[in-house]
Amino acid sequence: MITFYNKKNDWFKVILISLLFSTVTTLAYASQPVSTLKKIKIGVIGPMKFGVGQQEWWGAKIAADEINGAGGVVVKGVKHEIELVKADSNETKSTTDAVNAMEKLITFDKVNFVTGGYVAEPVLAMQEVIADSKVIYIGGAGTQMLTERVAKNYNRYKYYFRNIHSNETMFSSVIFSLIDMEVEKIRTELGISKPRVAFLLDKIQACEVMPEIGRTLLPKMGAEIAGVWRTSMRADDLSAELTAIKASGAHIIYHFLAGPSATVFSKQWGELRIPAATAGYNNELPWKRHWKDTNGMCEYEVGFCNIGRTEMTYKTIPFFDKFLRETGEYPTDHSSTYDNVYILKEAVERAGTLETEAVLGELEKTNSIGTRGRIAFYPRGHKWPHDKVFGAEYDTQVGVQWQKGSLMVVWPDGRHVVGGLDDKSMIGVKYKGTVDYKLPPWMVEYWKGKTGK
């Protein structure tokens, strides 16, 4: 019988056993599931069955993939991986569904932070959930009420920051800047001294203040209101409204359409050859697919967007091109979740903890170059605390126009800035790659030689 046990090989046995133990231990750790790694969970909430939600998810996912690929979020020397949790708010149809989705993210999925959101009324309701739960939420929706709440009751609502949309005063200032550009073009090319502006607006909270702003600003431009039309976000036919706008003698349509009716508007505006330029917000206009969805009827349509393929910052074009490669689509306002994930990473790393109050304090100090400009938030004591700072070098937004099947940046053009925010900092700002705005040729043909109604 052969035996390996003797005094001479005792040390050999010890070494062999140690090596076997080390190998087994290494294999055990290597085979552990990813879920045992350190995680930072970020909820991405939005209407995921619609383009808005898709953009919010894509933007956040690209950022998370980049951050994780570069080593993750480092908290006091410990690497954390970002895990995204998708939540369908269904908010274009149901506020209740939106609230339930937010509650699930916090109570069941136990996320550390949330980003996303779109429609004013549901986001206001979701803001109550995060105020109760004390979870940081970098959200969207355009109503000023969201950050006015922060001003009025900071301790309750301080967990909300806005860095997807601008509030209605900010984006109205951009829209009226586009209108000012069009008013000048109408005067010089068509000889119409006092252009008329029609308002076509969704029946949502963010649109309530727009006609009132128009009554203040339009006379300063030498223009006037032709009428106000309100419509459902889900309207499937706007021909009656467009026909009435044409009959009103309007030369410009200020439109704010945040739902499925946006594509209907573009298609029917082009098909009916409505002799009025457009300026406003069309949720579908910045999408690459919009050209195909409207059979090219969106040609010459103008609207504003958070981003265009122009040098807003050194990050803009690389992000724009990467987004297009990975998704087949142009990034829109809602892909701002990309920047949101990055500023959360930076705030956590500065705080050195995931503790909410510490991260919140660092978010308030945000001063970061994003894909759309420098990101910073208005401080406590401002009328809109935790709203993103608007203006040159910060979030500026762009005006875009479909020209020959391509979406081109036409504003800022260095000249047309309306003082809705008493901010003249955009005068002289013109990003590389910006082109000249063009009136629709059928509009020129219709109004040429006429003085207007």
For the entire predicted model, the pTM comes to: 0.85
Residue 77: φ, ψ to 5°: 85, -10
Give strand ranges (E) for 196-295: 196-202, 224-231, 252-257, 277-282
* CB-CB contact of 235 with 261 (8 Å): yes
Residue 416, pLDDT score: 80
Whether the upstream peptide bond of residue 412 has omega within 30° of 0, thus cis, is yes
Q: What is the mean pLDDT of each run of 10 residues along the chain (453 residues)?
A: 42 45 43 59 96 96 98 95 97 94 97 95 96 97 93 98 88 87 94 95 84 89 94 92 96 92 95 96 93 96 93 95 97 95 98 97 97 96 95 87 95 77 73 94 90 51
The rounded distance, in Å, linking the Cα atoms of 193 and 424 is 25
Measured between alpha carbons, how far apart are the two ends of the chain, in Å? 115
Residue 3, pLDDT score: 41
* CB-CB contact of 146 with 160 (8 Å): yes
Residue 171, pLDDT score: 80
The rounded distance, in Å, linking the Cα atoms of 398 and 309 is 10
Farthest CA pair distance, the chain:
116
* CB-CB contact of 71 with 62 (8 Å): no
Q: How many CA atoms lie within 13 A of 413 on its CB side?
A: 24
The rounded distance, in Å, linking the Cα atoms of 188 and 193 is 9
Residue 396, pLDDT score: 80
How are the residues of the chain apportioned to helix, strand and coil, as percentages rounded to the nearest 5?
45, 20, 40
Residue 450, pLDDT score: 75
The rounded distance, in Å, linking the Cα atoms of 127 and 119 is 12
Residue 332, pLDDT score: 93
Q: Which of 435, 411, 448, 451 is nearest to 189 (CA)?
A: 448
* CB-CB contact of 283 with 260 (8 Å): no
DSSP per-residue string spanning 335-353: GGHHHHHHHHHHHHHHHTS
The rounded distance, in Å, linking the Cα atoms of 252 and 196 is 6
Coil, helix or strand at residue 411: strand
The rounded distance, in Å, linking the Cα atoms of 261 and 284 is 9
The rounded distance, in Å, linking the Cα atoms of 146 and 151 is 9
Domains annotated on the chain, with CATH: 37-166+316-375 (3.40.50.2300), 169-305+397-447 (3.40.50.2300)
Residue 163 corresponds to which tokens in the numbers above?
A: 């860095």
Q: Give the list of residues 6+ apart from residue 298 with CB closer than 8 angstroms, or none.
A: 266, 267, 270, 285, 290, 291, 402
Residue 68, pLDDT score: 97
Planar angle of CA 310, 311, 312, nearest 5 degrees: 100
The rounded distance, in Å, linking the Cα atoms of 285 and 294 is 10
Residue 450 corresponds to which tokens in the numbers above?
A: 């006429």
The rounded distance, in Å, linking the Cα atoms of 63 and 47 is 20
Residue 419, pLDDT score: 58
